[in-house]
Amino acid sequence: MRFDELSLHPKLLNALSHLAFEAPTEIQQLAIPHILASRDLAASSRTGSGKTLAFLLPMVQRLLTSRVLGKRGPRALILAPTRELAKQVHAQLRLLIAGTNYKATLVLGGENFNDQTRALQRHPQILIGTPGRIANHLQERSLFLDGLEMLILDEADRMLDLGFANELKQIHDAANHRLRQTLMFSATLGHTDFEALSTVLLKTPQRVTVGQEFARHDDITLNFILADHLDHKEALLEALLKQTTYQQAIIFTATRADTERLATLFNSKGFRAVALSSDLKQAARNTIMDGFMRGHHSLLFTTDIASRGLDLLNVSLVVNFDMPKVAAEFVHRIGRTGRAGAKGTAVSLVSLKDWPSYLAVQQLLQLDDSFTALPGLEAKFNGQVPAPRKPRRAQHPLLHKESAAGKTRPVRDPRAGRVAAADRQRPDKQASTEQLEREGFAPLRRQKPNPN
């Protein structure tokens, strides 16, 4: 199939020709006809399959061919879970509307609110933003969605994971009219809260799923390497980067602190590394991503903030320095390579701490138990998890002390023997059985002498 068979506007076909896009991908072939027919849609396809173009093309087509519904507010709103993904969607959209009179504006968290308000007052037809900042503008009444024609959620499940459910419902309420068309796109739709949200946002939606939700990616070679500890992982990563041929690499870590620490470490080893995390200011994040996309850096150390949607064509190697806590996130991480038909490699370092996460990924993707090793850096850990030790009974520290052999033994009162022997020699300290029974085992009371 060719793009001209999808009944697209001549301006869009001209833009696609300039971008050297010849044929639509499978998700584009299936999704675009439903969207052009003004149906709500929930679509799922593996990462790197062309989902962004699948909603941008029919969105621009609608703006070109239909009349405006309202006098204020944007005609289309695209929501993305992260600022980086929103910027990437905006960049692709600008290429499509270059030959039109339409304006697209970015509204992201972490940027100046007043500058965004002034940009909104210029009435852009298309708005791209993150849910939190869009909701803020609705609360401050600097944004109105009365005439919104299309609401598009990119990576909808990730927005739910980040806790944006209330903001999404608030945006829905601000643009809740019968003429609005809603699209939900993601690499995965099997989210626990997705069905509940879709019943609120979508009206009798069409569902499109391309391929198995968590199928193996044929263009990505998976390797797993066992590791013993943190220092061993660092040595493995250094050897891997020196022995592997790659253009650019993304290394995923579990914590933001590790991104900075590892980037500093590998810069000192002669690599061109940079760190990206969510606690950086937006200007710094923009500079880092722009430099990486321009090839100024060969290594990007990051957390899961960069696991969704980013289209980085020069990334041919992905390394999981730490395995993700959620198995589905593994699919998104490795999807940063092997995009648009290119080949890629994904390597995961698995230590004892990562073993439960590895087992979850193995079950999700139906993987075999096969590990590779780097010569001279073989791990002692072999995947055998030691059985948990039985908890020892808690003992009062005053009743036991440590012996020279390392074993605890009861502490004896040195006076106990002497006091017991002395009591046996004193008749007044001995009591008859009848008296003990009469007193109920209470302490013996000394009787007062009779004055008579």
Radius of gyration (C-alpha) of the chain in whole angstroms: 33
Structure tokens at 218: 């044929």
Lowest mean pLDDT among 8-22, 145-159, 193-207, 380-394: 380-394
Q: Is the pLDDT of residue 412 over 70?
A: no
How far is residue 172 from each of residues 39, 152, 392, measured CA to CA in Å? 17, 11, 56
Percentage, residues of the chain above pLDDT 70: 80
**Per-residue pLDDT reduced to its tens digit, 250-272:** 999 998 899 999 999 999 999 99
Q: What's the rounded Cα separation, in Å, for the pair 361 and 134?
A: 35
Nearest to 176 by CA among 109, 77, 104: 77
How far is residue 352 from each of residues 1, 303, 349, 385, measured CA to CA in Å? 49, 20, 10, 7
**What are the backbone dihedrals phi and psi of residue 160, each rounded to the nearest 5 degrees, phi first?**
-70, -40
Q: What's the rounded Cα separation, in Å, for the pair 338 and 307?
A: 14
Q: Is the pLDDT of residue 361 over 60?
A: yes
Angle between helices 131-139 and 165-174 (to 10 degrees): 50
Nearest to 75 by CA among 149, 20, 159, 177: 149
349 confidence band (pLDDT: 50, 70, 90)? very high
Q: What's the rounded Cα separation, in Å, for the pair 253 and 53?
A: 30
Q: Is the pLDDT of residue 303 over 60?
A: yes
Q: Is the Cβ–Cβ distance between 3 and 27 less than 8 Å?
A: no
Q: What's the rounded Cα separation, in Å, for the pair 370 and 86?
A: 38
Percentage, residues of the chain above pLDDT 90: 45
Nearest to 183 by CA among 149, 147, 158, 210: 149
393 confidence band (pLDDT: 50, 70, 90)? low
Indicate the DSSP class of residue 372.
Answer: B
Structure tokens at 176: 């809740």
Q: Is the pLDDT of residue 298 over 70?
A: yes
Lowest mean pLDDT among 119-128, 271-280, 380-389: 380-389
Domains of the chain listed by start with CATH number: 3-210 (3.40.50.300), 220-365 (3.40.50.300)
Stretch 223-240: mean pLDDT, rounded? 95
Q: What's the rounded Cα separation, in Å, for the pair 385 and 387?
A: 6
Instruction: Please provide the average confidence, as pLDDT, over all residues in the chain.
Output: 84
Q: Is the Cβ–Cβ distance between 215 and 46 less than 8 Å?
A: yes
Which pLDDT does position 238 carry in this prediction? Answer: 95
Which pLDDT does position 401 carry in this prediction? Answer: 53
Q: Is the pLDDT of residue 282 over 80?
A: no
Count Cβ atoms within 10 A of the Cβ of residue 432 and give its class: 0-12 exposed, 13-18 middle, 19 or more buried. exposed
Which pLDDT does position 159 carry in this prediction? Answer: 87
Which pLDDT does position 351 carry in this prediction? Answer: 94
Residues in a beta bridge with 221:
345
Q: Is the Cβ–Cβ distance between 56 and 50 less than 8 Å?
A: no
Which pLDDT does position 452 carry in this prediction? Answer: 56
Residue located via tokens 């969704």 = 308
Lowest mean pLDDT among 57-66, 82-91, 274-283, 343-352: 274-283
Question: SS3 of 101, please?
Answer: coil
343 confidence band (pLDDT: 50, 70, 90)? confident
Q: Is the pLDDT of residue 424 over 80?
A: no
Which pLDDT does position 40 carry in this prediction? Answer: 95
Q: What's the rounded Cα separation, in Å, for the pair 272 and 281?
A: 21
Which pLDDT does position 439 carry in this prediction? Answer: 54
